[in-house]
Structure 1
């Protein structure tokens, strides 16, 4: 819970808890063989999930990155670590096992951090995703090879050949028979309409195929991966993935606890120079290798460095491979524990490294300043003609739909998006959209933040929206910002950060379901509209009082439609120090809807509320009265 609160992967929490309660620390739980066997099932379900996500179409679409950059990264780490092991007098088998483990990066951590930063569609995000995909695939041959490495040298060649033959036979039988049997079998089980039976069937398939591969002298994890691949070809893939997740997460957590329990602090203290060397390899050296490879594959210096920073750590599959190698007595215990400790340290550093990657890249890549300046110049040139426009952060489906509505009402908008292909196609079609990260201060200013009438965050990503709200609050606190979110869980957080309104997808979806349901049940249309209007007025402060009826309004009445207007009380403003009731805004037929004060949530004021310097007052009224109210608040003129 603590690690989730501080935005670090729970996996690290499991590892530290294991270190604390294990036999080498507090000794609350002795390391037992039974617990280790149970924890192996966590790895089984992890590999099963990996098999479910195995997608040939995705692999084909990213083959240049996956089979090019991903393969080069894994081979480079194998060569580096293997060479270092030989120089230290270790066997090549130890070097291969260590290299395989240290080539891995954390899929769970990196994908979460890049998603939070809205960077999955960026060039470095695509690079990182492609390399991680190849690493996940590379785990499968490593799981086959590592057990064989423990064989005597004279038997090694024949053992590897026999293992290759076994994998060909097992794969052929399982995939050939499995594809013929899996879909009819799942159809039969699903027709029974029993969730209990469906879950038992998933466990049967997963553990059964894993057991078969272990009988064939291969690993449990390999069988689970194959089971996932077979089910991925059926229409039950997503249901299976949801059903299996609690087993996977719980048992995988136990696996990481067991890894932590097996760490011997006495050995770690004795081996601290080796741990430092391993952290160096997993940190700066791995980052530089990935950066150099990304540059060789045609990436810019900035994208290459960001890719390196994202992947410069160990991963969850490293623990799996190290545990397998330790069980086969390939890696000496001291080296194994030192490697596990180094991976934990590298994973702890990664969130902070990615968080500050932009500043590091600007220092390390001289061309990044030029690219940044060029990009900002392009944004500024495109937005220069716009005044009183709306800035759209994100130009996905919601952003494009909103843009079309604004265009139909002759309201200028300027959109920012991080998908270069989308920006290229929309730009070619004449849309007002450019490539840029709306969560960066310089980009917002270049997009005309100081001249904009409003800013809309069109994607449901709370972390990015909070960054945008913070910057808007610093630069233009009076600018209204509307934020999209998925559900009601973050509404208070976003409003306290300065959002004028938060639109929840689930809320709007439920209103549409309710309106259609009432109409199908024969409720009159005007009554349906009135009911939905009442719910919206109760939910959204910004549209209270806007609905006057269901008939069409004339142009003249449109001009007299009440609207919102934000006024910031700058230094020496007339209203500072006055209570709202003393200003006589009611005489101008103006309603004070809310007040935004720095570092405080939005306030619903009463007549006795005293105004301060820096307050942003949100007023509701017709345009002429709003202009008079602004003069009164700032200059004292009626």
Structure 2
């Protein structure tokens, strides 16, 4: 059993990271800056160049990189293979052009200041790559991932992740001059390629045919923590498999997310992963801040003071031009350029490998590492400032091709969120579909999800009482949220969450009975309807007609009862005529006639007369 000292040994760094984040991030957001900048600043302060509260930042890098892995998994969940294929021009065209042109320009500049050609090649590639974690985090904060410039930016980042494998394969060739070392024979390289292809095929087959049944079985157990553990198992398992065959961990996680994008469990998985992603991603940003060697920066401050702005402005200019050539507007091209101007996380992996192969000196590598870290620090500031300037100049301006995105599988197409797919929610969706409105539906009953597949509806597994699930399902973008759950207590909790967190969405709620309806009215829902009221009105109207009443007379009687009931409902809500009993959900109310009875009730049996208290 671990002693007290072993427990205490890992608590100080954990408390340090949590304390730094708790102070720096709120200050950053208060100043109107990105949370990324707060994490980076916190890393500088607590790192070896600051207060030295954490002596060796490399000890946390491995754990922190899991945050990037989880981020790519969630991004994969938001896409579909068909959507990805439609982006092929931006991925392989714009992505390749950005990496090649930028690396060539930066490499040429490195040669001009005295780097060897091999060191310049590594420097050009390392700095040309962009910070995936920073860019996607900022796109997520702005809700811009589904916008045209967000999609183009993501396409470039995706190509950069794909290019990791060939870049790593090229470095040994550069180190050996022309021939690869004996340990890396053509047979070995062919074997590596075969392993990579086999690993990708395994992930695709398992993801396509095995994960949905797997999560369906787990969902039936009702154990939420098991679903969370299984989600982490899928993400980290795919990432580890890709790493073992020489591919990027982030690429493996993205592939796993992409294969689950059409899963009914998509939103629940996203909600389960989100807390881990946010925490570990923040840790990653702090590790980047800690990697900045302020002593080295002071020693080479003139060179870095010139190089960092030159890299940021140069990458922004090149990407703006290239984006324009690929059909983007100047405004969107500039936004993508500024967003992707920082150097990427991969620079911290590529540079040590290059030093180990003898492609560049340790001093040069440290200098480029400091340059990459500084661009990651300055990039979010410039991007935030640019967004403010553009927002002021183009306030209220719509994206010209935003309509092209509607109908894709992004959340922009979900105007309505329906919570609950029971007998009530099914009819609601039938009517919405009849008018061409595709709602996003949440339910935690596995059988209902399977039934929904026969309706052609998109129903996702998830708990509607969880704020993270609602956010993942697009509640913050929905025009209307229909709560169709059949348990009054659950319905009230969901309404509270909606009103507190999504005030812009109209709330249409299914009421269980009269007491529940009055409670919902007091919560100021936009519309409530007792689940049996309209059906009973229609039933009684049909009964009157069958008994000989004219259709007009039956309709008038039904409408009169409806109006009287609404009036009494409002009166009971305002005056509290139920003496506080309405506060107890599920409490029975003695029903009262809406019109004066024409006679007195009579019991027709001894037992009935006894119940009514009538004399014998």
Question: Normalising by structure 1, what TM-score?
Answer: 0.54
Partner of 1:129: 150
- C-alpha deviation, 1:342, in angstroms: 1.8
- C-alpha deviation, 1:359, in angstroms: 7.9
Within the candidate set 278, 288, 292, 1:249 is matched to: 278
Within the candidate set 380, 386, 389, 1:347 is matched to: 380
Q: What SS does the corresponding residue of 2:529 show, helix, strand or coil?
A: helix
Asked if structure 1 preserves the Cα contact closer than 8 Å seen for 2:315 and 2:341, the reply is no
Partner of 1:454: none
Measure, in 1, the Cα distance between the counterparts of 2:204 and 2:296: 45
Measure, in 1, the Cα distance between the counterparts of 2:209 and 2:477: 42
Structure 2 residues without counterparts, runs of 5 or longer:
1-25, 401-411, 416-474, 479-496, 511-519, 538-560, 576-616
Give deviations 1:260-297, integer Å, cap 9, x for gaps. Answer: 11211111122333433443344332332233224434
- C-alpha deviation, 1:100, in angstroms: 2.2
Measure, in 1, the Cα distance between the counterparts of 2:159 and 2:202: 22
Cα 1:206–1:334 shift into 2, 3 Å: same
- C-alpha deviation, 1:21, in angstroms: 0.5
Between 100-109 and 52-61, report the one with greater CA deviation.
100-109
Partner of 2:337: 311
Partner of 1:601: none
Map 1:609-620 onto structure 2 (within 5 A): none
Give deviations 1:301-356, integer Å, cap 9, x for gaps. Answer: xx31442144324478x542123224535571221122111221121111111221
Q: What SS does the corresponding residue of 2:32 show, helix, strand or coil?
A: coil
Cα 1:532–1:512 shift into 2, 3 Å: farther
Measure, in 2, the Cα distance between the counterparts of 1:257 and 1:44: 16
Map 1:528-607 onto structure 2 (within 5 A): 529-530=566-567
Cα 1:217–1:63 shift into 2, 3 Å: closer
Within the candidate set 69, 73, 80, 2:105 is matched to: 80
Measure, in 1, the Cα distance between the counterparts of 2:414 and 2:273: 31
Measure, in 1, the Cα distance between the counterparts of 2:213 and 2:272: 20
Cα 1:358–1:244 shift into 2, 3 Å: closer
Measure, in 2, the Cα distance between the counterparts of 1:13 and 1:178: 37
Partner of 1:3: 28
- C-alpha deviation, 1:160, in angstroms: 6.2
Q: What SS does the corresponding residue of 1:515 show, helix, strand or coil?
A: strand
Partner of 2:126: 97
Within the candidate set 55, 65, 68, 1:43 is matched to: 68
Between 132-141 and 234-243, report the one with greater CA deviation.
132-141
Measure, in 2, the Cα distance between the counterparts of 1:352 and 1:75: 28
The root-mean-square deviation of aligned C-alpha atoms, in Å, is 4.2
Q: What SS does the corresponding residue of 2:367 show, helix, strand or coil?
A: helix
Within the candidate set 322, 325, 338, 2:371 is matched to: 338
Measure, in 2, the Cα distance between the counterparts of 1:55 and 1:172: 17
Asked if structure 1 preserves the Cα contact closer than 8 Å seen for 2:126 and 2:344, the reply is no
Q: Which has the higher contact order (CA 8 A, sep 6+)?
A: 2
Asked if structure 1 preserves the Cα contact closer than 8 Å seen for 2:341 and 2:379, the reply is no
Asked if structure 2 preserves the Cα contact closer than 8 Å seen for 1:146 and 1:324, the reply is no
Asked if structure 2 preserves the Cα contact closer than 8 Å seen for 1:110 and 1:310, the reply is no
Within the candidate set 55, 68, 82, 2:80 is matched to: 55
Partner of 2:544: none
Asked if structure 2 preserves the Cα contact closer than 8 Å seen for 1:100 and 1:321, the reply is yes
Asked if structure 2 preserves the Cα contact closer than 8 Å seen for 1:315 and 1:347, the reply is no
Measure, in 2, the Cα distance between the counterparts of 1:215 and 1:97: 22
Cα 1:508–1:269 shift into 2, 3 Å: farther
Partner of 1:20: 45
Cα 1:527–1:349 shift into 2, 3 Å: farther
Partner of 2:269: 240
Partner of 1:421: none
Within the candidate set 324, 346, 356, 1:321 is matched to: 346
- C-alpha deviation, 1:258, in angstroms: 1.2
2:230 equivalent to 1:204: no
Measure, in 1, the Cα distance between the counterparts of 2:505 and 2:208: 42
Measure, in 2, the Cα distance between the counterparts of 1:194 and 1:349: 45
Cα 1:148–1:351 shift into 2, 3 Å: same
Partner of 2:528: 514
Asked if structure 2 preserves the Cα contact closer than 8 Å seen for 1:487 and 1:505, the reply is no
Asked if structure 1 preserves the Cα contact closer than 8 Å seen for 2:339 and 2:383, the reply is yes
Measure, in 2, the Cα distance between the counterparts of 1:47 and 1:79: 28
Measure, in 2, the Cα distance between the counterparts of 1:328 and 1:460: 44
Cα 1:397–1:137 shift into 2, 3 Å: closer
Within the candidate set 204, 229, 232, 2:258 is matched to: 229
Cα 1:321–1:535 shift into 2, 3 Å: farther
Asked if structure 1 preserves the Cα contact closer than 8 Å seen for 2:126 and 2:346, the reply is yes
- C-alpha deviation, 1:18, in angstroms: 0.7
Give deviations 1:186-238, integer Å, cap 9, x for gaps. Answer: 22222222111111111222222222333334343333233223333432222
Structure 1 residues without counterparts, runs of 5 or longer:
362-371, 376-394, 399-458, 463-485, 492-501, 539-638
Measure, in 2, the Cα distance between the counterparts of 1:173 and 1:251: 27
- C-alpha deviation, 1:109, in angstroms: 1.7
Partner of 2:458: none
Map 1:111-510 onto structure 2 (within 5 A): 112-113=141-142, 115=144, 125-126=147-148, 128-148=149-169, 151=172, 152-153=175-176, 154-155=179-180, 158=186, 163-298=192-327, 303-314=329-340, 318-330=343-355, 332-357=365-390, 488=499, 505-506=506-507
Give deviations 1:430-481, integer Å, cap 9, x for gaps. Answer: xxxxxxxxxxxxxxxxxxxxxxxxxxxxx9889xxxxxxxxxxxxxxxxxxx
Measure, in 1, the Cα distance between the counterparts of 2:56 and 2:385: 32
